[in-house]
Amino acid sequence: MQLTGAEIVIECLKEQGVDTVFGYPGGSILNVYDELYKHSDEITHILTSHEQGAAHAADGYARATGKVGVCFATSGPGATNLVTGIATACMDSIPLVAITCNVGVSLLGKDSFQEIDITGITMPITKHNFIVKDVKNLAETIRKAFVIAQKGRPGPVLVDIPKDVTANKAEYKKQEIAPVTASKDICEAEIESALKIISKSRKPYIFVGGGAVLADASEELYEFVKKVDAPVTDSLMGKGAFPGTDPLYTGMLGMHGTKTSNYGVSECDLLIVIGARFSDRVTGNAKKFAKNARILQFDVDAAEMNKNVLITDGVVGDIKVALGMINRRLEEQSHPEWIEKIMAYKEQYPLKYHEEGLTGPFVVEEIYRQTEGDAVIVTEVGQHQMWAAQFYKFTKPRTFLTSGGLGTMGYGLGASLGAKVGMPDKTVVNIAGDGCFRMNMNEIATAARYNIPIIQVVVNNHVLGMVRQWQNLFYGKRYSATVLNDSVDFVKLAEALGATGVRAATKEEFKSAFASALTLGRPVVIDCQIDSDEKVWPMVAPGAAISEAFDEKDLEERSN
């Protein structure tokens, strides 16, 4: 049948099982929005306050559900406002399809009103992108976009459609879309080599990254850990892939990882890396990282092998498939002396914080207690992000959503909206610093408009906390442009935007405020007043090895 380009867009989204789109309309995408209006009973559209919020919401929806997130934007500034959200998804390998519309084909390249080369702009931050200049190619291109976004290592794909293409007609035939499945093509020799190196190890350590979450490999990972009999650490992106309550779990690795994990990885004889990319925030000084160990890396992306850290062996392929193959052949290992040593580290170096007054770690622990560990926790970027990673015990994948690679301030609020829309039966909490909250706090209006009952916790220290921490430790306490000494009132702001606002300055006030927020069934902003000089511990100084992690007690001893 003959359909317009706009009709084809909507029909293709329906083919893919898309039930929610986040976006913001404008002139160039008007035909698509007009068609979307006719299908509002099949596809829900969430009008965000800003296109960046739409991209982050699509990202959060994808992370929480495992489906492809979809966002819409018009040409020019509408499209460029998606860029930060697309880059965030790209760095963390999140499947997202962004559909933008541009000026008509005849107006391209003429500096027309609201014209922008969005495919050129997003080429470095997408897995692939397209501009569709002929309506006959539109359906095929959208279908390709969804496959590319999901296949292998996931990522964002952008499809740009000139306005006249959305009005032109072409023959459309509905297709039944087969789900994108993991490739089982894994080199047998790599599996055999992995089995040998694991069997020879006496002090193995397992490091879990976001790839284990994206591959839905939690069950295989758990069986693998028990068979290898090794302690487990993770990255920000890997949280929840292995239960944070398991005795073998030793906390996060890297700049703000636990001393147990940092020391253990530095002393192990085999580091088994499951879907992690050796970020500089994890490795510290890469030349000194795991210097006593052979490194065995599992990753779906061959480009990650030997990219940041030289490895000994690697298995390229889908992690769920690869671990399944290993588990079927690996005999159970036993390393009692090694495990005993790591458990002694856990007892010797627990995560601690000041007990007096309201603090960031207390806020996170109280959220954990009241949600009984069964919530989707979203964060912005900074101190609060590290406290959330340290003090909330994640036991399931897709329950910790954070910008790990790009470190995007302003990510969390939009992402929490997407997560709650995708997982309406889950409690969704966005933890933000006051600096991050300011970035996209306009999305509280979106939450209020649709009555999306997210709980927004602002850890308000009236400074840019993580930057100030660096200034305090490494820049002679010169607090250049990091003090937020103004009169912004987040409680009044929340109320003005249609949400409930509460201020908490004590532990009891926060306990009460959060307990109430869990029952209200509407968006709530809790403004938590904490000290400006509270810090995240432990810490690894820039350029240092992770084995040189230090905490407040170490700092005091050095200064005496």
- The three-state secondary structure class of 311 is coil
pLDDT score of 551: 95
Beta bridge partners of 485: none
Helix (H) or strand (E) segment spanning residue 24: strand 20-24
What pTM does this model have?
0.97
The pLDDT > 70 percentage for the chain reads 100
- Taken in order of first residue, the domains within the chain and their CATH numbers are 2-171 (3.40.50.970), 188-348 (3.40.50.1220), 360-536 (3.40.50.970)
Question: Which position among 67, 114, 223, 507 bears the catalytic label?
Answer: 114
Q: What is the DSSP string of 421-485?
A: HH-TTSEEEEEEEHHHHHHHTTHHHHHHHTT---EEEEEE-SB-HHHHHHHHHHSTT--TT-B--
Q: Under a CB-based contact definition with an 8 Å cutoff, are residues 44 and 417 in contact? A: no
pLDDT at residue 191, rounded to an integer: 98
Per-residue 3-state assignment (H helix, E strand, C coil) for 225-275: HHHHCCCEEECCCCCCCCCCCCCCEEEECCCCCCHHHHHHHHHCCEEEEEC
Residue 559 pLDDT: 78
Question: Amino acid identity, residue 93?
Answer: S
Instruction: Collect the ranges in the chain with pLDDT lower than 70.
Output: none
**Is 113 annotated as catalytic?**
yes
User: pLDDT tens, 227-240?
Assistant: 999 999 999 999 99
How far apart CA 295 and CA 277 sit, in angstroms, is 13
The 3-state DSSP class for residue 161 equals strand
Cα→Cα distances 431→13, 340, 383, 461, 546, Å? 32, 35, 10, 13, 27
pLDDT of residue 560: 74
CA 335 – CA 324 distance, rounded (Å): 22
What does the alpha-carbon distance between residue 406 and residue 84 come to, in Å, rounded to a whole number? 9
Average pLDDT, the chain: 97
**Catalytically annotated residue among 7, 11, 35, 51:** 51
Reply yes or no on whether 466 is catalytic: yes
Name the helix (H) or strand (E) containing 320: helix 319-329
Q: Which of 11, 130, 163, 298 is catalytic?
A: 163
Residue identified by tokens 């000994």 is 312
Answer whether 546's CB lies under 8 Å from 265's CB. Answer: yes
Per-residue DSSP letter, 37: H
- Coil/strand/helix, residue 54: helix
Q: How far apart are CA 552 and CA 558, in angstroms?
A: 10
Separation of alpha carbons 317 and 186, rounded Å: 6
User: What is the reported pLDDT for 144?
Assistant: 98
Q: Which residues, other chains included, contact 142 with Cβ-Cβ below 8 Å and sequence gap of 6+?
A: 8, 9, 12, 13, 97, 99, 159
pLDDT score at 557? 86
CB 367 within 8 A of CB 394: no
- 366 included as an active-site residue: no
Known catalytic residue: 51?
A: yes
Distances in Å between the Cα of 351 and the Cα atoms of 292, 414, 539 are: 25, 30, 12
Cis preceding-peptide flag for 538 (omega within 30 of 0): yes
